[in-house]
Amino acid sequence: MFKIGPEFTDFAKAVSRVLGWTYVLCWSASFYPQPISNWKRKSTFGLAIDFPTLNILGFYAYTISSSSFYFSPTIQSQYAFRHPDSPETTVRFNDVLFAAHGAVLCTVIYSQFFTSVWGFKVGSAQTVSRAVLGIFWGCVLGIFVTLCLVKILGRAGGYDPASWAWIDVIYALGYVKLITVVCKYIPQCWLNYKRKSTVGWSIYPMLLDFAGGLASLLQLFIDSALAGSWEGITGNPVKFGLGQITLIFDAIFFYQHYVIYRNAIDEEYGEEFDEIEQEGLISHRRE
């Protein structure tokens, strides 16, 4: 593969650090517009509850996964054993910071669906779907099964990377994050389509997501080029997958918001669309 020459190594490392913090800042900032919008409107209408439900699971799993790769000598040594051509993980401190921050903000957003906590208007249709509940508990079960395999089939208590080891649990957590990212956008896309509107759902997180996704992928490619091996990508499939999936769904959301639903009405009372329509309470302004 392409490898960066020694004369450009310091520059490439500096660019990688800048890109790393750029994507962290963009993705971290993307958590704020939606809860702020909910707070201003005193309503969660327009946001699919499936989105934060999967986000909570995904970000807590990602926090544990990235923290383990960055802080745990055991996980680092097992990673090096399995990736001898590129023994250093591409997980950086900014990845850990982003994951932990995301877990906290996802919890805040999810809590806004509880009227007893915030007092916001929550539509009766804003309940977690069976499909999402199945995905949620299926992911939890997958982590549990991996833990059992490490305990039963692993050698040296899971510390021998040649068999089932603790790094496999960390990989399982990483894949849970990847699965939740793939699935969490679909309910929001469907809700926007069903309502023929994106009102109540903020587009600003998607704009920041897009910028962060580009920066994340560029950093991963630069880090792999510095290492002279694509294993920096194959060894960190979660980060690579997150960047790609983010860009794809962001493009879909841009199309919904700025093209097909750009003249959508504003159901400002925070109830289901059909209820508002029956009561004649529809206004024609956008946020």
pLDDT value of position 268 = 45
Residues 6+ apart with CB under 8 A from 186: none
Total count of domains within the chain: 1
The answer as to whether 244 is a domain residue is yes
pLDDT at 11 over 90: no
285 found inside a domain: no
- pTM (two decimals): 0.77
**53 falls within a domain:** yes
* Stretch 26-36: mean pLDDT: 92
Which domain, by its residues, includes 267? 6-279
DSSP 113: T
Whether residue 34 is contained in a domain is answered as: yes
Average pLDDT over residues 90-99: 84
Q: How high is the pLDDT of residue 266?
A: 55
pLDDT of 284 higher than 80: no
Q: Would 66 be classed as within a structural domain?
A: yes
Domain assignment of residue 73, yes or no: yes
Cα 31 to Cα 249: distance, rounded to the nearest angstrom = 16
Would 76 be classed as within a structural domain?
A: yes
How open is the CA angle 12-90-243, to the nearest 5 degrees?
90
117 contact partners, CB below 8 Å, separation of at least 6: 111
SS3 193: helix
Residue-wise pLDDT for 169-186, tens only, equals 999 998 898 899 889 899
- Per-residue pLDDT band at 32 (split at 50, 70, 90): very high
Q: Which two tokens stand for residue 48?
A: 């699919």
- Domain assignment of residue 286, yes or no: no
Give the tens place of pLDDT for each residue, 58-76: 999 999 999 999 999 999 9
